Structure 1
Amino acid sequence: MQLPRPIQTYFTARAPRDGDALAAAFASDAIVHDEGADHHGPQAIRDWWLAAKAKYHHHAEPMSAIETSGKTVVKANVTGDFPGSPAVLTFTFGLNGDRISDLEIG
């Protein structure tokens, strides 16, 4: 499956060494919605991502991707240290050029 470069970066980044690369995949005004909270801007998104990786030790493996309403919707199998693992989650990405402008995980 061919994913746009910033989305591929999101799924292939490994914590903690790739935190800066992950942050660079996001636009300066990007927002991530996850677990009922919003994270604004690359630094806050990096901090959220590193904290989630440390807490859940999770890995997301994309299974499918579709383009709909200007968004890239990726279904991924997520495994880690959380109740219900593994779980299939939906990652809805908005892109602005070569950066992620928004991401909702559900």
Structure 2
Amino acid sequence: MSLDLPSPIAAYVAANACLDLDGMLRPFAADAVAFDMGKSRQGHAELRTWFEEEVIAVKAIFTPDSARHENGQVVVEGPAHGDFKGSPIRFTYRFTLQNDAIKALEITA
């Protein structure tokens, strides 16, 4: 299924599909914040470490199958597959966009 995602989100998803660390980081604002598994990370340095440890290391690839706008956010849902316990797991990604960049991301299972 092809989704009509805003360009920063589409760029993130495409880079994630290739496990391209720099490509995954590029759509995020310099001061972006991400919330995942009870932890927050802010700025490119912390996001890079998070991607290295929690995405690249376990080859976690998110494959969105639905998207909607809700309360000023873009909510994208789908499974993530990889070398981690319980794979695949269905996730909800809540993106906040600002100035054509990802300003915030909250991930829940």
TM value normalised by structure 2? 0.87
Percent identical:
36
| SS of alignment partner, residue 104 of structure 1 | strand
Please show how residues 1-40 of structure 1 align to structure 2 within 5 Å.
1-13=3-15, 14-15=18-19, 18-40=20-42
Residue 56, structure 1, aligned to residue 74, structure 2: no
Cα RMSD of the aligned pairs, angstroms, is: 1.3
**Alignment partners' CA distance in 1, 2:83 and 2:23:** 24
User: What's the CA shift string for 1:32-86, capped at 9, x where partnerless?
Assistant: 0011111101222122112212332111111000001000000011111222211
Q: Which runs of 5+ in 2 are unaligned?
A: none
Q: 1: CA distance between counterparts of 2:31 and 2:21?
A: 17
For 1:41, the aligned partner's letter is G
Letter in 1 for 2:86: G
1:23 and 1:43 in contact (8 A); partners too:
no
Give the AA of the match of 1:62: P
Aligned residues: 104
Task: Structure 1 unaligned segments of length 5 or more: list them.
Answer: none
- Quote the Cα distance in structure 1 between the aligned partners of 2:49 and 2:14: 17
Q: Runs of at least 4 residues of structure 1 off by over 6 A?
A: none
